[in-house]
Amino acid sequence: MKVLLIDQITKVNYKYTFPLANGLVKAGAEVVLAIDQKKERENCVCERINLFNTDEKNIGKVAKLKNYIWSYRRIDNILKKGKFDILHTEWYTFSPIDYYFLNKFKRKYKIKYVATVHDILPFNQKFYDLRFHKKLYTLADSIILQAPENVKRFAELFPDIKNKVCMVPHGHMLDYVDMIDKNESRERLGIPKNKIVFLFFGQIKKVKGVDLLLKALLKIKDRYPDLYVVIAGSVWKADFSECQEIIDNNDLSECLKMDIRYIPDDEVRYFYSAADACVLPYTDVYQSGVIQLAYGYQKAVISSDLPAFTQFVKEGKSGYIAETGNFNSLADAMERAILDIDNLPNMGKTGYDLVKQTLNWDELAKKIVEQCY
């Protein structure tokens, strides 16, 4: 069985794509990856072809669009020469173009088309996305969703094609964890060594709830002067002005570190190693690799009560849960974590054990081969 796996944003998604590809190989598939400009191998055993520049920051929209079309034309040639059995995608970055080419490939090469769906619809949804996502999902022979709640949401949006769905969770990220000394990490990042550190890490989008975290911090900072919040990541297609206004209008210098930029892979370990717990105040999410990374670093998690989180975050056992969209509830959950500071390492270990046992890549890839391919 020969598989062409396409990932247009491997630079940010390789912790899913590479272990999946390796697992597929172990399950008996021959896998070729068509990816973006990520050059580092990261232990990936498959042939990789660098095509897309989707995630490049210094390239304009027109140039990206031209590259996107060119990349799909290259994929056409790859399919023509390679005699593939399976075409497997993960993202629809420009859904009308994605549909044009994927429809063409399926008809031209009589190939089975499988779609892993990280986001059922984009959070920055364009006027055409619902229409073309439905066409793409209709085109697919099998659709992989990563959480029970996503299966439910998909069925509500697309009831006519819900029978194509297979539920296969996002695998763990334990292979990408590089835990180092907490004090060494704090010294490198300029974080006080004597503080209780809560970390928000990842792309800052409207649905990530950073504004809620700042409001929760304001509510409890005077009661807990040892609390220190770190927010690290780049702003992605979001208006950061509300968050900036909260910061500008309040004296948060003693309890907040903002590192608003893309965090390179070789720096990620310092942020997680420096933290006592991770905070995920999201207001919406389809699934989250961040929670697997947090538990990979054996950190307790404070999260909103979205189903994608509560399947892993157990109140008082592996973390603390807050009502989605409610900063008062988030403040209460943060307070519970502060008062239970000595038990946070045990909670992180509980989360680690759960993720390790239930999200094994080889088993998940085997399920994809057997049920989706």
Q: CATH no. for residue 192?
A: 3.40.50.2000
What pLDDT is stored for residue 235 in this prediction?
87
Check whether residue 150 and residue 271 sit in a common domain.
no
Per-residue H/E/C for 59-71: CCHHHHHHHHHHH
User: Encoding tokens for residue 300?
Assistant: 């307790």
Q: Does residue 305 sit within a domain?
A: yes
pTM of the predicted protein model: 0.86
Cα(169)–Cα(181) distance, rounded to whole angstroms? 31
Check whether residue 262 and residue 282 sit in a common domain.
yes
CA 25, distance to chain mean position in Å, is 23
Check whether residue 250 and residue 346 sit in a common domain.
yes
What pLDDT is stored for residue 122 in this prediction?
87
Domain boundary among 140, 167, 194: 167
161 three-state secondary structure:
helix
Note down the domain range covering 267.
174-357
Domain count across the chain: 2
Check whether residue 11 and residue 153 sit in a common domain.
yes
Q: How many CB atoms lie within 10 A of CB 73?
A: 12
Q: Does residue 202 sit within a domain?
A: yes
What pLDDT is stored for residue 363 in this prediction?
96
Domain boundary among 118, 145, 167: 167
User: Encoding tokens for residue 201?
Assistant: 């890490």
Q: Does residue 365 sit within a domain?
A: no
Check whether residue 328 and residue 207 sit in a common domain.
yes
Q: Does residue 370 sit within a domain?
A: no
Cα(361)–Cα(20) distance, rounded to whole angstroms? 6
The answer to whether 309 and 261 have CB atoms below 8 angstroms apart is no
Q: Does residue 371 sit within a domain?
A: no
* Helical ranges in 91-209 per DSSP H: 95-109, 129-139, 148-157, 182-189
Q: Does residue 367 sit within a domain?
A: no
Dihedral sign computed on CA atoms, order 153, 155, 159, 161:
positive
Check whether residue 178 and residue 159 sit in a common domain.
no
Check whether residue 201 and residue 133 sit in a common domain.
no
The answer to whether 99 and 108 have CB atoms below 8 angstroms apart is no
> Closest Cα partner for 292 from 168, 172, 149?
172
Which residues neighbour 166 within 8 Å (Cβ) at sequence distance 6 or greater?
A: 142, 143, 144, 145, 367, 368, 371, 372
Q: Kindly write down the DSSP assignment for every residue of 223-251, as one continuous string.
A: T-TTEEEEEES-B-SS--HHHHHHHHTS-
Q: Does residue 39 sit within a domain?
A: yes
31 three-state secondary structure:
strand
The answer to whether 257 and 229 have CB atoms below 8 angstroms apart is yes
The answer to whether 91 and 9 have CB atoms below 8 angstroms apart is yes
The answer to whether 294 and 272 have CB atoms below 8 angstroms apart is yes
- The pLDDT tens digits for 227-243 are 999 999 988 777 788 88
> Closest Cα partner for 68 from 96, 48, 46, 90?
96
* pLDDT tens-place values along the chain, 373 residues long: 999 999 999 998 999 999 999 999 999 999 999 999 999 988 899 999 999 998 787 889 899 999 999 999 999 999 999 999 999 999 999 999 999 999 999 999 999 999 999 999 987 788 899 999 999 999 999 999 998 989 999 999 999 999 999 999 999 999 999 999 999 999 999 999 999 999 999 988 889 999 999 999 999 999 999 999 999 998 877 778 888 888 888 988 889 999 999 899 899 999 999 999 999 999 988 777 789 999 999 999 999 999 989 989 999 999 999 999 999 999 999 999 999 999 999 999 999 999 999 999 999 999 999 999 9
Check whether residue 236 and residue 104 sit in a common domain.
no
Check whether residue 244 and residue 318 sit in a common domain.
yes
Cα(153)–Cα(160) distance, rounded to whole angstroms? 13
What pLDDT is stored for residue 318 in this prediction?
98
> Closest Cα partner for 35 from 162, 26, 21?
21
Give phi and psi for 196, each to the nearest 5: -90, 115
Cα(118)–Cα(67) distance, rounded to whole angstroms? 23
Check whether residue 215 and residue 279 sit in a common domain.
yes
What pLDDT is stored for residue 54 in this prediction?
85
Cα(369)–Cα(160) distance, rounded to whole angstroms? 24
Check whether residue 189 and residue 317 sit in a common domain.
yes
Check whether residue 70 and residue 98 sit in a common domain.
yes
Any idea how long the chain is? 373
Domain boundary among 167, 194, 225: 167
What pLDDT is stored for residue 244 in this prediction?
85
Q: How far is CA 96 from CA 30, 112, 124, in A?
A: 29, 20, 15
Q: Does residue 368 sit within a domain?
A: no
What pLDDT is stored for residue 190 in this prediction?
96
